[in-house]
Amino acid sequence: MYRGSSGLLQKNHLIHRGAVDILFSNENQKLKCNSKNDVVRGNIPDILNLKTKLADHYRNIYFTKGEGKPKPISTTDTLLSKILLGTLGCVPAFDRYFIDGLKEVKIQNKVFDDASLNELFDFVEENRTEIKDAQKLILTKINKFYPIMKILDMYFWQIGYDKELMQKQEKEISDEDS
């Protein structure tokens, strides 16, 4: 997950202390998803506020690579959404495969913002039965509760990953025919 360009590889685990304090503050614990509390559309302002606080925390940490000038940690949507998915389960991870999956399903907004979260909640409302069925199946099979946004993350990620696999296979076939 860490990429050299973000600056995280140049630091140790202690840079995350402030982020942990932010994530586990009383104010943000209401976003922690579990079988009794899952994220809802009304949480979007709180999610975006938390995203901003985390971004501010990491942007205030500087790193130097080689002989270069100090630069702030790069706070990408991918980094911030992965932190929130892994700790609170309140958003999907806006990574490459997830975004490719959104494109395949014709979801318009592909950046981690108010519009994309609202569009994801529209998707949840349109597919609530299937999402609940997936949650029940996972709970039955591995005895773990997966929040709605984790289900969306896996669903769209798989679509994006499958798309890339298919493109690679088509290219191999095309190369063989040449």
Rounded CA-CA distance 138/134 in Å is 6
User: Would the pLDDT of 4 be above 70?
Assistant: no
| pLDDT for the residue numbered 45 | 99
| pLDDT for the residue numbered 71 | 86
- Tell me if 52 sits within 8 A of 60, measured CB to CB: no
| pLDDT for the residue numbered 41 | 98
Q: Whole-prediction pTM value?
A: 0.90
- What angle do the packed helices 128-142 and 148-177 form, to 10 degrees? 90
| pLDDT for the residue numbered 73 | 86
User: Hey, how many other C-beta atoms are within 10 angstroms of the C-beta on 117?
Assistant: 23
Question: Rg of the Cα trace of the chain?
Answer: 18
Q: What is the mean pLDDT of residues 57-61?
A: 93
Least confident of 1-5, 24-28, 153-157: 1-5
Provide the mean pLDDT of the chain: 92
| pLDDT for the residue numbered 15 | 87
| pLDDT for the residue numbered 145 | 97
Q: What percent of the chain has pLDDT over 90?
A: 78
Q: What is the mean pLDDT of residues 23-47?
A: 97
